[in-house]
C-alpha cells in the first residue's frame, strides 16, 4: 500500500478489523467466488488502468471477491450466473464485509482501495467483463 492510499477518508471503512456494512446505503456490491473472481479483478484492473474502484477479497471459504458499486445499481439489472448481488430493498437486506485499510483484517483484504467516498466500480463495465469471462 502506498502513502497516497493511506490518506483515503471514507466513512464506511472501519478503523480496525472489519465490519459488515448494509448494502444499498453507501454502496451495492457483487461477489464472484474463487478463481473466477480473481481473474475478473485482474481484468478490471487492466481495463481501467489499475483503478477499477474498491474491490475486497476474502481469503477463506468461498474466496469471494466483492466489487463495490454505486448504491442502487445492482437491484434491477440482470447479472450473469456466478454473480451474487448485495443490495437492499423492500423485505430484502444484505450485508457486505469491509476491512480496515491497515492492521489485522484477515480473512479480508483490499485488492483495490477506494480513492474517494464516491469512487466505485463502474457497473456497466463490470457487467460486460463478467459476461465475457463467465460465458
Contact 57, 42 (CB under 8 A): no
pLDDT at 135: 77
Q: pTM for the full model?
A: 0.92
Per-residue pLDDT of the chain (135 residues; tens, 9 = 90+): 333 445 678 999 999 999 999 999 999 999 999 999 999 999 999 999 999 999 999 999 999 999 999 999 998 888 999 999 999 988 889 999 999 999 999 999 999 999 888 899 999 999 999 999 987
Joined together, the cell numbers standing for residue 42 give: 485482474
pLDDT at 88: 92
What per-residue confidence (pLDDT) applies to 117? 83
Question: Is the Cβ–Cβ distance between 49 and 115 less than 8 Å?
Answer: no
Predicted local distance difference test score (pLDDT) of residue 51: 94
Q: Which residues contact residue 89 at a Cβ distance below 8 angstroms, ignoring those fewer than 6 apart?
A: 24, 75
Report the alpha-carbon distance of residue 97 to residue 31 in Å, rounded. Answer: 11
The H or E element that residue 68 is part of is strand 65-69
Amino acid at each position: 500500500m502506498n502513502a497516497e492510499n493511506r490518506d483515503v477518508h471514507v466513512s464506511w471503512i472501519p478503523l480496525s478489523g472489519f465490519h459488515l456494512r448494509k448494502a444499498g446505503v453507501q454502496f451495492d456490491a457483487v461477489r464472484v467466488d474463487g478463481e473466477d473472481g480473481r481473474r475478473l479483478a485482474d481484468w478490471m484492473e487492466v481495463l481501467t488502468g489499475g483503478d477499477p474502484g474498491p474491490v475486497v477479497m476474502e481469503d477463506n471459504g468461498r474466496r469471494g471477491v466483492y466489487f463495490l458499486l454505486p448504491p442502487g445499481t445492482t437491484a434491477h439489472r440482470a447479472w450473469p450466473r456466478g454473480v451474487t448481488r448485495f443490495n437492499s430493498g423492500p423485505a430484502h437486506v444484505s450485508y457486505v464485509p469491509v476491512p480496515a485499510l491497515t492492521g489485522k483484517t484477515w480473512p479480508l483484504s483490499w485488492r483495490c482501495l477506494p480513492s474517494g467516498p464516491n469512487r466505485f466500480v463502474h457497473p456497466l463495465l463490470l457487467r460486460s467483463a463478467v459476461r465475457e469471462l463467465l460465458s
